[in-house]
Amino acid sequence: MKSIRVKLWLGMMVLVGIIILLLWLFQIVFLEKFYSVLEINEITTNANKIIKEIETLEDADKINTSTQLIKQIDDIVYEKQLTVEIIVESYNTVYQGSSANNNAIPGSMKEVVTKAAENALMGTNFKQEVTPEIRISIYDYWVTNL
């Protein structure tokens, strides 16, 4: 029969092993999905706030005259490292902002962004698969029917 010291040590080692296994499992399996969902929800919430504020304007072409709205959009663009472009029904770009050094959209994204803009202006939904786990509805980030 083993002494109490050995039993206690084995029990603690099993507990430590279980905790290490759980930490590894959460970090490898769940952390990326959780972070992605959290970021997407935060961006969607901010986009919806901006959309509501734009809808309060009489004319969507006058977005650039609202300094508070432009500051709010610029803050979100800078914080979240985004590129935002607001297009009205007349296909005019009324706002374009990017956290990058230039406002150029990467070549691989131009086709996706163009399709999203066309669908948003027609009032239809457009989804682009980013990773197998995440589907982003680009339509939600475009201001339509202004």
DSSP 8-state secondary structure symbol assigned to residue 145: -
* Residue 9 within a domain: no
* Residue 26 within a domain: no
Instruction: Give per-residue pLDDT as tens, 25-70.
Output: 888 888 888 888 898 899 889 888 888 888 887 776 677 777 788 8
* Statement: residue 142 has pLDDT above 70: no
- What pLDDT does residue 78 have? 83
* Residue 21 within a domain: no
* Residue 3 within a domain: no
- Integer Cα distance of 60 and 69 in angstroms: 12
* Residue 81 within a domain: yes
Q: In which domain, by residue range, is 106 found?
A: 35-141
* Residue 100 within a domain: yes
Residue 63 vs residue 135, higher pLDDT: 63
Q: Tell me how many domains the chain contains.
A: 1
- φ and ψ at residue 95, rounded to 5 degrees: -155, 135
The answer to whether residues 99 and 77 touch, using CB atoms and an 8 Å cutoff, is: yes
- What pLDDT does residue 106 have? 52
User: For a pLDDT cut of 70, what percent of the chain falls above it?
Assistant: 75
